[in-house]
Structure 1
Amino acid sequence: MADPHDPDRDDNPFKGTPMEQFFTAFTGGGGTPDFQALMNQVQRMFAPHEGHVNFDMAKDVARHVLAAAGPDPSPHAGERSAVDDALRLAEMWLDSATDLPAGATRAVAWSKAEWVEQTSGTWHQLVEPIAEHVVEAMGDALPAEARAMAGPLVGMLSQAGGAMFGQQVGQALGTLAGEVLSSTDVGLPLGPERTAAVLPANVRAFGEGLEHSEADVLLYVVLREAAHQRLFAHAPWLAARLVGAVEDFGRGVTIDVSAIESQLGSLDPSRPDEIAEALQGGLFEPARTPQQEQALQRLETMLALVEGWVDEVVTQATKDRMPAAVPLAEAMRRRRAEGGPAEQTFATLVGLELRPRRLRDAANLWAALRDAQGPEARDAVWSHPDLLPTVDDLDDPIGFAAGENRPSDGPSAQFDAQFDEALGRLLDEGDDRPSGDDDQPR
């Protein structure tokens, strides 16, 4: 006879469906639901909350996910001191690679739970537009007569929808907190402004098996964090552009009721496994629209440009100083290519996959621009969003570096003229500077 308390027993009727975690939470791994826990959960679902996401529930779920994953001690004094020392050295090295001034005014070491708490405000800002449009799309999908009959129940359904979305967000954040290395690891500025934040426990886990010292791995992660902080401080419009692309994606959410009805009609109620497969296959997931595809492409391009610039600047800062930087950079790229924490989290949130597929192309573009016109030209592009490279520029980095891809007219023409004029002055001033970049990677 099977042990009713065996956590590995396979009698969960919702296994493989979105209801699996609810069943597990209310049964404690056994077959009898914990009705007290169920009632508490229902009360939390209908508790008042701002916006379309119950973010208090999301944070609570994230903390439970972390607690189930194992110990999460706060960083000790030695770890905090190591992060401070690494940031000071990183800023010195970055000063030689870019004229953008230091963006971080302090360094902090976070536990996983602290990452959840410190970044929750930004996550709320990111997922709220998506949740808003998902809930609205679900309401709009109901026929008019059904909405009229539902009356007050529509508000209750919206409240429950916000709670279910909060559950999903919390699960994603709890998982992400176990993987992220720093506050900018997903390519977005998630933490407090001008704060370089690192998670020492996750950095150690990342370094396992890489055959490099813990000090080198920590320094490399801090270099990337400090470079991100410089860029976001220099281009304050950048964070808003990234968030805006997420909002544009959420704004296009639609629910195809006819498609759902068609799929449901083909399911055999006597075959639970078939229903589970349909749920796993995205039966109720919103279909992407052409507008969403465009928003996703803009987001991926901007993230690739950010990460590519960070790669390029850190490469220049560590050249001839840190032999471990090259294999560590490759390990970081593999981590991204295999589907890093950003992609996994956003994929959980209503199908928004987030992977800078053009990362290597973007790094090559910034290197080509530096080789052709100097680091000042590379960094000057971030002075205005209209100057940013496009997807087509990523296909032709040499042409972008030579200025061949910029239009001669249009809304960005005046910025192009100002950009060319500023570059001319910088190049005139640098004519006597010795050339030492001929052997830099392109």
Structure 2
Amino acid sequence: MPNYVDWTFAKTTGARLVPPGPDVGHDEAAEIVGEIRRLSRMAVDPVAATSHLTAPGDAPAALVVDRPTWIGVNADSMAALLDPALEAAAQRREKPPWGPAQAVGNKLTGAEAGGMLAFLSAKVLGQYDIAPQGTPALLLVAPNMVHTERELKVVPRDFRYWVCLHEETHRVQFTAVPWLREHVIASARGLATDLMPDQETVRERFEQMATNLPKVIGGEGQGLAELVITPEQREQMAKVTAVMSLLEGHADVVMDDVGPQHVPTVETIRSRFTQRRKGAGAVDRLLRRLLGLEAKMRQYRDGATFVRTVQHSVGVEGFNAVWTSPQTLPTPLEITDPSAWVRRVHG
């Protein structure tokens, strides 16, 4: 298959552009990595007890990584998700692009992907990488934890454990619910394929970009995707967003429910971290809007409200009916109307 995005160049570009991490000596870095690994193991039992979900014994342990490693892993996952969509779009063309032009284009798109990954690599504290064509893994980004705990002026051990609780919940979601990973991969690939414009709609999409750009800069919608999305695609994206809201909100609820017993300063951490999620300077806020990170913040809020409301109504076991099948996941309307989900699933 032709290489429509030079993912190797994306990794190289990302590694060159990645911001330097916090100033940490070699011995201190080794100590930090060891503590994060230990805290990630400690998070397993409290998360299982609180969520009533248990990861299988063969589920891989967390990996503590630096920013360039995170970029490399995510470039591979993006390639596995997007390359099939790019191939499908190419097959709809009347004729293939001129060879030299395609080579230059591949480098340009690779550079753009690398720049985006470099920016995000300094923001992400942890992530469960679903690895569409590889081995899933829980990633904990050590320099970002250190940078954030210093920025927030919170107790390092408490903050690191708090983050581990959130990310362990994601590991449990994707390993204790066998069908979830393939469902998310299929949904993301389907959406990516639908978002690829063909030759007949390119002009229409450019006109749409001019109309929607003020909305994106204003923080509405799903970031850059909002520039070219159709009403039908918006509906499909809403379904994917509802699932992501569920996953992120559930992880936030579990981490905060476990927190009071295991993280003495959890209230201070939550208060300061919530404020941090709003973004720092004007440039940072603009980039967050363009990349859809503002929409992700709404996912945390909507998802957490959904989880708490449902659990208050039908308990944790009643809420866990959400993991029964793709049909029991909340719809876009239900994620903001939890009682509608309870009526549909529990009668």
Structure 1 partner of 2:165:
223
Structure 2 partner of 1:435:
none
Deviations 1:230-288 (A, max 9, x none): 0011223323333333333332332655469999xxxxxxxxxxxxxxxx9xxxx9732
Matched, 1:124 2:79: yes
Range that drifts further, 247-256 or 373-382: 247-256
- 2:246/2:335 contact within 8 Å kept: no
Matched, 1:99 2:52: yes
- 2:7/2:76 contact within 8 Å kept: no
Alignment CA distance shift 1:359-1:183 (3 Å): closer
Report deviation, 1:62. 1.0
Matched, 1:88 2:41: yes
> What SS does the aligned partner of 2:123 have?
coil
Inter-partner Cα distance in structure 2 for 1:352 and 1:318:
25
Inter-partner Cα distance in structure 2 for 1:174 and 1:299:
25
Inter-partner Cα distance in structure 2 for 1:393 and 1:332:
27
Deviations 1:321-380 (A, max 9, x none): 4342234334444455549x9x958945xx898525243232122122222222122223
Report deviation, 1:224. 0.8
1:110 to 60, 65, 74: 65
Alignment CA distance shift 1:261-1:393 (3 Å): closer
- 1:116/1:174 contact within 8 Å kept: yes
Structure 2 partner of 1:208:
150
> What SS does the aligned partner of 1:357 have?
helix
- 2:158/2:264 contact within 8 Å kept: no
Inter-partner Cα distance in structure 2 for 1:260 and 1:226:
40
Q: CA RMSD in A?
A: 3.7
Report deviation, 1:122. 1.2
2:124 to 180, 184, 187: 180
- 1:53/1:165 contact within 8 Å kept: yes
Report deviation, 1:170. 1.1
Alignment CA distance shift 1:260-1:224 (3 Å): closer
- 1:83/1:108 contact within 8 Å kept: no
Inter-partner Cα distance in structure 2 for 1:261 and 1:172:
22
- 1:108/1:196 contact within 8 Å kept: yes
Inter-partner Cα distance in structure 2 for 1:335 and 1:372:
31
- 2:124/2:144 contact within 8 Å kept: yes
Inter-partner Cα distance in structure 2 for 1:239 and 1:286:
28
- 1:220/1:325 contact within 8 Å kept: yes
The answer for unaligned runs of 5 or more in structure 1 is 1-48, 141-146, 264-279, 407-415, 421-442
Structure 2 partner of 1:59:
11
Deviations 1:182-231 (A, max 9, x none): 123xxx63597564331221111112342311111111111111111000
- 1:99/1:376 contact within 8 Å kept: yes
> What SS does the aligned partner of 2:43 have?
helix
1:164 to 108, 114, 118: 108
Greater RCO, 1 or 2 (C-alpha within 8 Å, sep 6+): 2
Structure 1 partner of 2:230:
289
Matched, 1:235 2:235: no
> What SS does the aligned partner of 2:269 have?
helix
Matched, 1:370 2:311: yes
- 1:245/1:296 contact within 8 Å kept: no
Report deviation, 1:123. 1.9
Alignment CA distance shift 1:329-1:132 (3 Å): farther
Matched, 1:315 2:265: no
Alignment CA distance shift 1:86-1:257 (3 Å): closer
Inter-partner Cα distance in structure 2 for 1:258 and 1:379:
46
The answer for unaligned runs of 5 or more in structure 2 is 209-216, 218-225
Matches within 5 A, 1:265-304: 287-304=228-245
User: Which TM-score applies when normalising by structure 1?
Assistant: 0.62
Alignment CA distance shift 1:241-1:332 (3 Å): farther
- Relative to its length, the structure with more helix (as a share) is 2
How many residues end up aligned between the 2 structures? Answer: 319
Inter-partner Cα distance in structure 1 for 2:272 and 2:175:
27
> What SS does the aligned partner of 1:389 have?
coil
Alignment CA distance shift 1:258-1:85 (3 Å): closer
Report deviation, 1:133. 5.6
Matched, 1:249 2:202: no
Alignment CA distance shift 1:260-1:97 (3 Å): closer
Inter-partner Cα distance in structure 2 for 1:365 and 1:135:
40
- 2:159/2:269 contact within 8 Å kept: yes
> What SS does the aligned partner of 1:373 have?
helix
1:305 to 227, 236, 246: 246
Alignment CA distance shift 1:397-1:89 (3 Å): same
Inter-partner Cα distance in structure 2 for 1:190 and 1:239:
9
Q: What amino acid maps onto 1:178 in structure 2?
A: A
- 1:308/1:363 contact within 8 Å kept: yes
Alignment CA distance shift 1:259-1:291 (3 Å): closer
Deviations 1:282-315 (A, max 9, x none): xxx9732223212221222111111111112222
User: Which TM-score applies when normalising by structure 2?
Assistant: 0.77
Q: What amino acid maps onto 2:335 in structure 1?
A: L
Report deviation, 1:393. 1.6
1:384 to 290, 305, 325: 325
Bigger CA radius of gyration = 1
Report deviation, 1:55. 0.9
Deviations 1:371-426 (A, max 9, x none): 222212222311211101112223322343xx32x1xxxxxxxxx5xx78xxxxxx
